[in-house]
Amino acid sequence: MQPAEELILKMADDALIMGHRNSEWTGLGPILEEDIALSSMAQDKIGHSYALYSILHDHFGHQEPDILAFQRTEKDFKCCHLAEFPIGEYDFTLARHFLFDHAEFLRYELLIQSSFEPLARLAKKIHGELKYHVLHANSWLVRLGRGTDESHARMQSALNAAYPLSSGIFEATPFEQQLTDEKVFAGEKQLQALWEEKIRPLIEQSGLQLPVVRDVSSGMGGRNGYHTEHLQPLLNEMSEVFRMEENIEW
């Protein structure tokens, strides 16, 4: 695999899996506006994964986006553990949404400068769309962090659960140096530093504490194809209709 190819694959898998997780709130959102918000973000993210898989198809000889999304095995997926976790209660969904989307937003911001043109062009477009995702996440973090005692306590405990997993977003791959040298991407280390700088004040403004990570290996493995027990059932469900009639024209 080439460095850019590996980068795009993990981004696409993250977007697809997060999109699918978001879509699990469709029809179940706590209020109508939130149902619509999570469903809209699901649509955005699955659209982003489609655009990324299309780059893999057009430039790196991969199969069609639908095949990549629905016919690969668990081991072929490179999504991070944070994205795989079940939606849980709405507090966990919001905490993950906050941590994940800020990382994605900053990643695309860096990629606008990418030397790999097709990715730079797509990054410019997706970055504008993700602005709405991070604003949504921020507004709930503040509202619940500064809400009642119960909402504060629940937001803090959700953050405590989701935060250690977020290290896995930035899990290094063997291509980091090459990506930086070739100016394709500034690298996971720099992204993580920017992300920490961005989320710390937002967490503080919400009256919440930044959790302490005790186990540095938590959330790691996804980028190498090692996943939690939550991914396979999700893949089964996601591809159920596709597998019923594989060569059908939609």
Partner 1 sequence: MNSIIISAEEILSSLSEVMDPEIPALSIVDLGIIEDVLIEDECVTVKMLPTFTACPAIKMMQQQVREKVLSLGFENVNVIIDDSVAWNSDRITEEGKIKLEKFGLGIPNRHGGEFSLFEIEHSKCPHCSSEDTTMNSLFGSTLCRSIHFCFSCRQSFERFKPL
**Chain positions contacting partner 1, by CB under 8 A:** 33, 36-37, 39-41, 43-48, 50-51, 118, 121-122, 124-126, 128-129, 131-132, 135-136, 139
How many CB atoms neighbour CB 189 within 10 A?
12
Which of residues 81 and 136 has its CB atom nearest to partner 1 in the complex? 136
Which of residues 45 and 96 has its CB atom nearest to partner 1 in the complex? 45
Of residues 166, 130, 123, 128, the one with CA closest to residue 8: 123
Which of residues 1 and 135 has its CB atom nearest to partner 1 in the complex? 135
Which of residues 33 and 181 has its CB atom nearest to partner 1 in the complex? 33
Residue 174 burial (10 A CB sphere; 0-12, 13-18, 19+): exposed
The least CB distance from residue 44 to partner 1, in Å, is: 5
The least CB distance from residue 233 to partner 1, in Å, is: 25
The least CB distance from residue 132 to partner 1, in Å, is: 5
Task: Say which residue the tokens 């993580």 belong to.
Answer: 192
Which of residues 161 and 238 has its CB atom nearest to partner 1 in the complex? 238
The least CB distance from residue 157 to partner 1, in Å, is: 26
The least CB distance from residue 37 to partner 1, in Å, is: 4
Give φ, ψ of 72 to 5 degrees.
-85, 160
The least CB distance from residue 88 to partner 1, in Å, is: 21
Residue 43 burial (10 A CB sphere; 0-12, 13-18, 19+): middle
Which of residues 72 and 121 has its CB atom nearest to partner 1 in the complex? 121
Distances (CA, A) of 204 to 96, 153, 210: 17, 14, 8
Are 238 and 190 within 8 A, CB to CB? Answer: no
Q: Any residues with CB less than 8 A from the CB of 175 and at least 6 apart, and which?
A: 3, 6, 7
